[in-house]
Structures are given as C-alpha cells and as structure tokens.
C-alpha cells in the first residue's frame, strides 16, 4: 500500500470556536503539512480544486508549484482537477510546466468535481457534465501524447497543428480518474487503461465497491493488463487516539459539529454530497472515516482493501479544525504506527519504478 495526504483547502470557521484563519495563514498551513508529509515518508500529497463554497483551492497549480519548490521526493497529485470546466490546452500547459518544475513528480486526478455551483460559474450546462468531462479529458490526453494535434469537438474551437509547450518532463504524466457516484468515470478510465481514484468519503462501502468492480471488469474487456488496473481510495478524514473510547470522547463534538456545518440542504438525497454518518460512533463503525485507535484504523484500511484491492490510501487531517501541529502529530502517528503494518499486509507495485 502507498499513502497520500489530501487537502481540499477548506476555509470555514472552526466548527466549535468559530475562529477563521486568514487566507495566507491557511495556505501556509497546507504547504507546511505537505513538507511534513514528505519528511514522514508519505508517498504523495494532493491538493483539491474547488471554485464554489468555503475553499481556497481554486488554483491548485500555484499551490503545488510552491510545494514542489519546498520538497524533493514526494509525488504531487490533484484531488481533483475539474477538467470538465477547464480548457484542456491550458491544463496541458499549466501541469506540464509544473511537471518540469517538479522534475516529473506530477500526476493528475481528473473529475467533474463535487461542487455543483462551478458549472454555472464557468457558464456551462451541468446537465452536460459527463459529455464535457469525456471530450476535454480525451483532448488533454492527445495534447500530452502527440505533437501537431488536429482536433475538432463540441465544446471549444478546433485545433490545427497544435503542440502545447512545455512538453511533460519525462513522458505523459499518469492521469487518474476520480470516481464518486457514477459509472461514467470508471468506464472512461477503463477504456483508456488509466487508474481509478474512488472517493470513499461519504457513501457506504457497497456504493464504491460497485464502481471499482465495474472498472476492473471493463479494464480487462478493453484489452488492458489487469495488473495495471491501479485503484486508490479516499478516507473522509483521519483522527487518531490511543483507544476508540478516547477518540469518541476527544473528537465527538468537533466531528458532529463539522457534519452539521457542511450539510447542504439543497443537495439532500443526492448521492455524494452529505454524509449519512452523523454521529462519531456511526462514522467509526460504518463510515469510511479513519477514526479511533491505530489498530482500529489498520483493521478498517485492510477491511476496505479486501473489497477494493486498492494500491493507494489517501488520508486528510485538516477537515476537523486541528492545528498545524496537531495535523503533523496525527500524520506522524499514522506513519509510525499504521503505515508499516498496512504496507506489509497489502503490498503493491504502484510507483515501484
């Protein structure tokens, strides 16, 4: 198993105290935790992209470039790049530049995004989101793998003999497909032989297992080597204590206040937007959140691995109002007490080279 730290760069008041850091301080926190993740041996650090809601992640390339300058080894991912609302030419240019700066450490996770409001913001029809996603992803793929591209599509003007610059650092960066609620992303990933990144953040395990099963089935049907069908999974948040009882006592108020704070009434009943795990006990027992003792978290990751057979586990530590020091302490406990056990029990060939 490989391990990633993800930040969506949320910027909401603390769920209990109401305190809100400045934008500059919040962004510095993200970079500091990214540096710590490399120091602690994590394999990747990811930054989300949101254009609506209480987030500061509208420019992930800028944040990842800053982190690339402050690190040397850790892989830099997105979580996700909302390719459906972006110009693929610009995406190709920006991330190839970042790939050069980081000397080949960039990988994209592409998706339609989890904030419905961004389609209106960019003047796009949300009802066409999957058509937008497919066309723009496939153009991006060509722009990175070919030179002198001739192309015509529905959602942007034609291209004639286009070669985007700079070129990627050492071949086409790996592109994952973010998958949360629909079979569209698993289908697209399987068609092109790309890896799948399942959200595993809000819905019950069975919903994500269905998406992964579809991906693996189609991956082989499209003629790809099943050994290359890499899968990653999110977690919905990481909180560690010595015992489950201590975790409940320590984090109940902040967890349940955060659930209330992030509830989206206009999206109630729509899969993937509001967590059904409203109490911390329910989250520990049934949700994808990694909350509890180290052994509880080991058992939960390995339990998901039995179903998902995933290669990369993503964790987030900045969604519950923890200070920077508390976030780093949490990652250190994970790196020292949890990661070695899971790595041994769930080996993978991802990133071996």
pLDDT, residue 12, reads 95
Domains of the chain: residue spans and CATH: 2-238+292-345 (3.20.20.30)
pLDDT, residue 184, reads 96
Judge whether 6 and 275 are in contact, CB under 8 Å.
Answer: no
Q: Does the model's pTM come out above 0.85? A: yes
pLDDT, residue 252, reads 95
Tell me: the pLDDT tens digits for 150-189?
999 999 999 999 999 999 999 999 999 999 999 999 999 9
Point out the least confidently predicted range of 57-61, 202-206, 239-243. 202-206
CA-based torsion, 319, 320, 326, 330: positive or negative: negative
Tell me: the pLDDT tens digits for 249-289?
999 999 999 888 888 777 777 776 778 889 999 999 999 99
Tell me: the pLDDT tens digits for 91-125?
999 999 999 999 999 999 999 887 767 899 999 99
Tell me: the pLDDT tens digits for 317-341?
999 999 999 999 999 999 999 999 9
Mean of the pLDDT values across residues 20-29? 98
Long-range CB contacts (within 8 A, 24+) of 156-162: 156/87, 156/88, 159/89, 162/89
pLDDT, residue 54, reads 93
3-class secondary structure for 106-143?
Answer: EEEEECCCCCCHHHHHCCCCHHHHHHHHHHHHHHHHHH
Tell me: the pLDDT tens digits for 191-200?
999 999 999 9
């Amino acid at each position: 198993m490989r391990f990633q730290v993800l930040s969506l760069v949320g910027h909401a008041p603390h769920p209990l105290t109401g305190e809100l850091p400045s934008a500059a301080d919040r962004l510095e926190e993200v970079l500091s935790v990214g540096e710590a993740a490399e120091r602690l041996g994590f394999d990747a650090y990811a930054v989300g992209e949101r254009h609506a809601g209480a987030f500061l992640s509208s420019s992930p390339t800028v944040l990842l470039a800053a982190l690339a300058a402050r690190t040397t080894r850790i892989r830099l991912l997105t979580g996700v790049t909302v390719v459906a609302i972006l110009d693929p030419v610009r995406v190709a240019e920006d991330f190839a530049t970042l790939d050069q700066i980081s000397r080949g450490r960039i990988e994209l996770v592409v998706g339609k995004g989890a904030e419905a409001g961004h389609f209106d913001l960019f003047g796009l029809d949300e009802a066409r989101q999957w058509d937008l996603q497919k066309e723009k992803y496939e153009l991006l793929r060509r722009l990175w793998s070919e030179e002198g591209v001739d192309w015509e599509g529905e959602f942007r003007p034609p291209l004639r003999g286009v070669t985007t610059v700079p070129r990627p650092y050492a071949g086409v960066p790996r592109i994952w497909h973010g998958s949360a609620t629909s079979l569209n992303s698993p289908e697209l990933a399987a068609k092109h032989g790309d890896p799948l990144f399942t959200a595993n953040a809000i819905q019950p395990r069975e919903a994500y297992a269905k998406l992964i099963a579809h991906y693996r089935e189609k991956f082989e049907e499209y003629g790809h080597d099943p050994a290359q069908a890499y899968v990653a999974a999110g977690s919905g948040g990481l909180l560690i204590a010595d015992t489950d009882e201590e975790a409940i006592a320590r984090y109940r108020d902040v967890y349940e206040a955060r659930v209330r704070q992030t509830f989206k009434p206009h999206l109630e009943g729509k899969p993937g937007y509001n967590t059904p795990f409203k109490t911390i006990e329910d989250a520990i027992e049934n949700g994808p959140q990694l909350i509890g003792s180290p052994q509880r978290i080991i058992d939960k990751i390995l339990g998901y691995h039995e179903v998902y057979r995933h290669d990369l586990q993503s964790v987030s530590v900045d969604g519950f109002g923890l200070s920077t020091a508390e976030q780093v302490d949490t990652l250190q406990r994970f790196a020292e007490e949890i990661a070695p056990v899971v790595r041994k029990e769930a080996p993978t060939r991802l990133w071996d080279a």
